[in-house]
A = this chain, B = another copy of it.
């Protein structure tokens, strides 16, 4: 017993300036409270078997030192991170950010945090890289928000043992998928226009590589064909209002065009602008339906009839499915479709010359 180290407190006040260590461990708290670190652990976790006076001493020591549990150690101990990873290409689209928000909110309610892994461009390398990082990341499972054809390529292998739920894809034969019922939404939109008396419906489609665009266009075509109506090739956009504008200019040039189904609201906005510039009145001359029901759609000129997507529900189901995988039995592949509903506003009406 030569030298006794001073109890080396490591509260912030201990280190004069700059790089305060600030790491206070259970051992530090235990020392100050005069108990063992196991007792501190028991207090921290609310385990039974700690007498009230001891508990209070420990709590006092905790707050004096500013103790906060080290989640790395905790995760190491438990083998769980209580964190969900989300891989996506960007938050720019309303759908993605709304879905992510719902995932984050719902996950938080279940005690999980979410980690965002943005991948720059939808190349295989990038997605693979994201998965590699995910593997190293402190994550119990992954939600993959991929809206482009990519998972088809067998080269993109999700590491085995990684729990995953895919959004907005057709990988339902290989992974659990949660998706909006795109096809049904598109069907509602097209049927609505046909029921108003329009002879046929033109389509402003999203980009070819998008799953959602593909399914919306497919349903549009199907309904027209079932009804025996002419099917003009769809105009192709890239989801942006600007691309919708250019598609709208082309459609405005066709005097036979009386009804347009745009694959999202932003392109519909561009279509409205093009029609307006060309002097075609909406809905008197041309009816327009969008898809998404973004917050602004009700304020367009005129307010847009559109297909409402329940992004919050998509996010919620993702979390539920993923937590199910993490906690219970492994989930098989399959697609969970969230229903849509048509919101009728002022941009649709019977074609001119048709009453009621």
Contacts and interface: CB of A to CB of B under 8 A. Distances in A.
Contacts of A97: 91-92, 97
Contact of A113 (B72, B74, B108, B133): B133
A81 B113 CA distance: 14
Query: Number of copies of this chain in the oligomer?
Result: 2
Interface string A60-74: 000000101111111
A244 B295 CA distance: 13
Given A79-B23, A269-B299, A98 B108 contact: no
A114 interface: yes
Interface residues of A, number: 64
A160 B101 contact: no
Which among A70, A113, A298, A301 has the greatest number of chain B C-beta atoms within 10 A? Answer: A113
Given A23-B79, A69-B136, A241-B299, 12 more contacts: A19-B330, A66-B161, A68-B136, A70-B76, A72-B73, A74-B136, A101-B118, A241-B296, A242-B299, A244-B299, A273-B300, A273-B301
14 contacts: A18-B330, A19-B329, A22-B160, A68-B135, A69-B135, A72-B73, A92-B98, A104-B117, A113-B115, A113-B116, A242-B298, A266-B295, A273-B300, A273-B303
Top-9 shortest CB links A-B: A22-B161, A241-B299, A72-B75, A68-B135, A97-B97, A91-B101, A72-B76, A91-B97, A104-B118
